[in-house]
Amino acid sequence: MSSAPQSHRGIMAQPAFRRFWAARTLSLVGDYAFRIAFATHLITVTGSASVLAAATAALLVPSLLFYLVGGAVGDRTKARRRVLVVCDVARVVVLLLIAAATYWTTSALLLVALSLLIGIADGFFMPVSFSYMLEITSRDKLVSANSALSVSMQFGLIGGPLIGGLLVGFIGAPATFAFDALTFLLSGILLMVRPKGVTGARPVTTGESADEPRQPMGEQLRRFGRDIVEALHYVRGVPWLLIFLGVGALVNAVFAGVLDVPIPLIMSPEGTSQAQSLGVFYALEGVGALIGAVILMRLTVKRLGTSMFAMLLMMAAALTAVGFFGGGIPALALALLYGIGLHVFNSLYPSLLQDRVPENLTSRVGSLSFLGFDGLIPLGTLLMGPLVTTMDARGAAVVAGAAAVLLSLAALLAPSIRGLKAEPPADVPAAEPDLAPR
């Protein structure tokens, strides 16, 4: 890294990006408040680590199933903003149903069943928004834009858990779910505003011609299959991307599993009555990420691969240490450290993809990345249940975190990762003008 300062002021001066950023920030605040309500409500009504693990794992399955569909939609449609708005409206409706269900019943099964519907909307929203970024952001500001979005995530991490902890503690889980619905409503309103042209942004492109007649469903499905195969073929030819997806899938499964099961049991063993402690832990992750944003603004990262996997290594070590020390001040300090690594990685990785992946493959490769990083999270979270039952929450965090440390170290030794620098590496295929099948 070298000390060349960067600024987010330029990107935030663009109205379209500013509205998108505000919409994402609001919905993320709601998401993290939901996380507190969901975990502590299940601990209260079931008292079971296995139920918490299984329920949290189940929530991730719908989004994983729909990431590839969402990626194909994102590359094919010109109405990306409309897709995002529809996803927000759908989540408003589902969250209001969840609020009503948890107010009138203590059924964990009903809560989980309704929450699965949110994952379907997430499966479309994430890859489509990844491609939508190219419509509202100039190429030279992609790192600043993704860094700003990572800061947005940290605002969500700070505000969401604190608000969620307070709402759950003083009003209850149903009110927290209703609050999440409100954040998606506001997000949808912001995204309804049509963006004006952005200087330097890529024009809206799809794999379809405007005059192309609507094709039969069978042909559309075959074309969808060809789209996915094309993206897989591209990924297979990029060694560093394969390592990111492979190691990232394993490490992210550990991170999510530890944060979703052992951490709530370490920080909030009594459930909703200790929701504030869990909220503070998650919020401090966000504070750490803001520190990471300040650091990243003052540095230009040159050794991209080494830097990103060093961040994963630091995050893994932090979670391992939480298991070793338990709750209290050390855990809160380690949450800060985890957040620093989270911001740096989440800023650099999407910018790398958006800059180097051919334009017409952006949504599909982005969706494969979402699928790769999130694909094993349900399994990782599910396995935390029996691991906690066998070893207790702290022991599970130590063992799982240590495994992530070893995986990150192994990735750092790979030549394609060490050779991944700010300039395009030789093994990345050159961007083609249009590879999408007609």
Length of the chain: 438
| pLDDT tens, residue order, the chain (438 aa) | 443 444 445 677 788 888 999 999 998 999 889 988 998 888 888 888 788 888 888 887 888 777 777 776 766 667 788 888 999 999 999 999 999 999 998 888 899 999 999 888 888 888 788 778 878 887 777 777 877 887 787 788 788 888 988 898 888 899 999 999 999 999 999 988 876 655 444 554 444 444 445 555 556 667 767 777 887 888 888 888 888 888 988 999 999 889 988 888 888 766 665 667 787 888 888 788 888 878 877 777 778 888 889 999 999 999 999 998 887 788 888 999 999 998 888 888 887 777 777 777 777 777 777 777 877 888 888 888 888 888 888 899 999 999 999 999 999 998 988 887 765 444 444 333 333 332
Tokens coding 137: 């952001």
> Exposed, middle or buried, 51 (CB in 10 Å: 0-12/13-18/19+)?
middle
Residue 219 pLDDT: 64
CATH code assigned at 381:
1.20.1250.20
Contact between residue 373 and residue 62 where contact means Cβ atoms under 8 Å apart: no
How is residue 2 annotated by DSSP? B
How is residue 141 annotated by DSSP? G
Residue 196 pLDDT: 63
Calpha distance 213→79 (Å, rounded): 17
Domain housing 323: 9-194+219-418
User: Is the residue at 225 inside a domain?
Assistant: yes
Is this model's pTM higher than 0.75 or not?
Answer: no
| Angle between the N-to-C axes of helices 239-260 and 377-391, in degrees from 0 to 180, rounded to the nearest 10 | 40
User: Is the residue at 426 inside a domain?
Assistant: no
Q: Residue 433: which of 202, 255, 120 has the closest Cα?
A: 202
User: Is the residue at 87 inside a domain?
Assistant: yes
User: Is the residue at 111 inside a domain?
Assistant: yes
User: Is the residue at 204 inside a domain?
Assistant: no
User: Is the residue at 213 inside a domain?
Assistant: no
Q: Residue 21: which of 144, 200, 182 has the closest Cα?
A: 144
User: Is the residue at 214 inside a domain?
Assistant: no
How is residue 180 annotated by DSSP? H
Residue 408 pLDDT: 93
Count structural domains, the chain.
1
- DSSP secondary structure, 142-156, as one string: HHHHHHHHHHHHHHH
Calpha distance 30→180 (Å, rounded): 4
Contact between residue 303 and residue 7 where contact means Cβ atoms under 8 Å apart: no
| Angle between the N-to-C axes of helices 15-46 and 80-104, in degrees from 0 to 180, rounded to the nearest 10 | 20
* 3-state secondary structure at position 300: strand
User: Is the residue at 425 inside a domain?
Assistant: no
Q: Which residues pair with 138 in a beta bridge?
A: 201
Q: Residue 247: which of 331, 298, 297, 313 has the closest Cα?
A: 313
Site of tokens 């490769």: 365
Calpha distance 43→52 (Å, rounded): 7
Count the Cβ atoms, other than its own, within 10 Å of residue 262: 29
